[in-house]
Each structure stands twice: as C-alpha cells, then as structure tokens.
Amino acid sequence: MKLSLVVPCYNEEENVQRFYDEVNKTFSGLISNYEIVFVNDGSADKTGENLKKIYENDSSRVQVLTFSRNFGKEAAIYAGLSNAKGDLVCIIDADLQQHPDVVVEMLKVMSEDETIDCVAAYQANRREGKAISAVKSLFYKVINKIAEVDFVNGASDFRLMKRPMVDAILSLSERHRFSKGLFSWVGFNTEYIPYDVADRQSGETKWSVYKLFKYAFDGIISFSTFPLKLATGVGLLT
C-alpha cells in the first residue's frame, strides 16, 4: 500500500528540507512505499527554489505543485489531495509541529482495526495564548450547537485517510472549503488520537486573529443554516 503525504507550504524556506529529511529518517526501515506531495501556496520566500532542489534529487518520491499566488491552506490541501496517488493519504504541516512519528502511530492504529477509515490527531497540549485558546473553545461550542456536523475541539487537518474517504472529499466541489467540516460531513469511521504539538521549527504562524475569525465565520456559514434562519427571522420581524 502506498502512502502519500500532502504538505501545504507557505513561506517555509527553512523548513521544507528539514521536513523532508525528518520524514525519510523517521520512515527509514518502517515505511518504504511513500511519496511526498508538496504544495507551494504562493510563497514569497525561497520555498519554491528549495522544493525544486528536493524534487531534482528525488523525483520518484516527490511531487511539487506550485500556486500562482497564495490561495490559502484549504486550497493547498485540495490540490495536494487531488494529485496524491496513495491508497492512504496523510495531510501534514511543513513546519514540523506535527512530527512524522505521529504518522507512523496513525498507521499502526489503522492497521489494528480494518473498520477504521481515518485516524485524526488532536492537540494534546495547545501551544497558544489563553485568549486564543478560549476563543477557539467558544467557537467549537457554538458551531457544535448550530451545525449539522460534529467538530472535535483541537482536531486539525492532520489526519490519515483511506482512499475512499479521500475520493469522497474530492467529490465535494465546494469553492470555499472548510476542511474541518468536510472531513466530518463525508462520514466514515474516524479514530482520534492525541499528539504533542512541537514548536514551529522556523518562521511564524500564518494565522492572525483576523484570519482566525474569518475562518470561524466561514465554517459557521458553510455548515449551519442558523445564520440564514436568523436573517430570515429578523427580516420577517422588521
């Protein structure tokens, strides 16, 4: 069975080579049939050049997709999933906050129970300020109250999926993609495992408070008819 790693990269010049080395080191002797699909999401730094070097040295194992501008992580994930050839596909960040060791663990969990379609990792320890963490918890409370699908607090897109689930996600033609919701919406048997978030190897998080709010708003609009009902109610009243 072939494993594909889908890696969205935005301004990760210092991290891509490290990520690539760390994956090879971690998988060595354990996993041999794998490919790495890097998606360069319109980086303004040397990420593109560095990915090109990695590709030139290992073109049989590595794919590099390049966006014309920054489209955001969701778009990068979609492009990566569309081009991944594996029977199993894992989405993982380029900054090594999500260590490839966890991918090995996900594979183990999946191999122990054939009814599992997806192993998703959630953050055991949140490495962020109290304010951000509180706002995120509130978001999960609100969205789980009003949305038609379940959202697990702390679960990200760091997950290993079997091919049928990947195909189901790709068959959804949403333009504004909110992966957290799509993963849940398609169903499938998902097992959640905790993982320790490491420190970012280099560079900075791409999330600002504004981006987080916009993202939360997109999620609520995409997966709940509550705002629509509210607007209709208010409209009728006035």
Residues found near Mg ion in the complex (CB under 5 A): 93, 95, 97
Least Å from the CB of residue 91 to ligand UDP = 9
Least Å from the CB of residue 203 to ligand UDP = 8
Report the distance separating Cα 64 and Cα 5, nearest Å: 12
The residue behind tokens 């979609």 is: 78
- Check: CB of residue 43 under 8 Å from CB of residue 72: no
Find the binder of ligand UDP among 97, 184, 190, 224 (CB under 6 A): 97
Find the binder of ligand UDP among 3, 4, 6, 10 (CB under 6 A): 10
In the 3-class helix/strand/coil scheme, how is 38-56 assigned residue by residue? Answer: EEECCCCCCHHHHHHHHHH
Least Å from the CB of residue 216 to ligand UDP = 13
Bridge-based pairing state of the strands 118-123 and 62-66 = unpaired
- Check: CB of residue 158 under 8 Å from CB of residue 197: no
157 binds, among Mg ion, ligand UDP, none (CB under 5 to 8 A by kind): none
61 binds, among ligand UDP, Mg ion, none (CB under 5 to 8 A by kind): none
Chain mean position to CA 29 = 26
Report the distance separating Cα 167 and Cα 158, nearest Å: 17
117 binds ligand UDP (CB under 6 A): no
Write the DSSP symbol of residue 68.
S
**81-89, 105-113, 200-208, 214-222 -> range binding ligand UDP (CB under 6 A):** 200-208
Q: Which is nearer to ligand UDP, 117 or 121 (CB)?
A: 121
Q: Show the site string, 29-68: x = touches ligand UDP by CB under 6 A, - = not.
A: ------------x---------------------------
Least Å from the CB of residue 15 to Mg ion = 9
List the structure tokens of 84: 């991944």
Least Å from the CB of residue 205 to Mg ion = 6
Radius of gyration of the chain (CA): 18
Q: How far is CA 202 from CA 17, 160, 199, in A?
A: 12, 25, 9
73 binds, among Mg ion, ligand UDP, none (CB under 5 to 8 A by kind): ligand UDP
Q: Show the site string, 67-86: x = touches ligand UDP by CB under 6 A, - = not.
A: ---x-xx--x----------
Which residues, including other chains, have CB under 8 Å from residue 226's CB and lie 6 or more apart?
146, 147, 220
Strand runs labelled E in 61-184: 62-66, 88-91, 118-123, 155-162
Q: Which parts of 202-231 interact with ligand UDP (CB under 6 A)? A: 205-207
Q: Which is nearer to Mg ion, 35 or 93 (CB)?
A: 93
Contact residues for ligand UDP (CB under 6 A)? 8-10, 12, 41, 70, 72-73, 76, 93-95, 97, 205-207
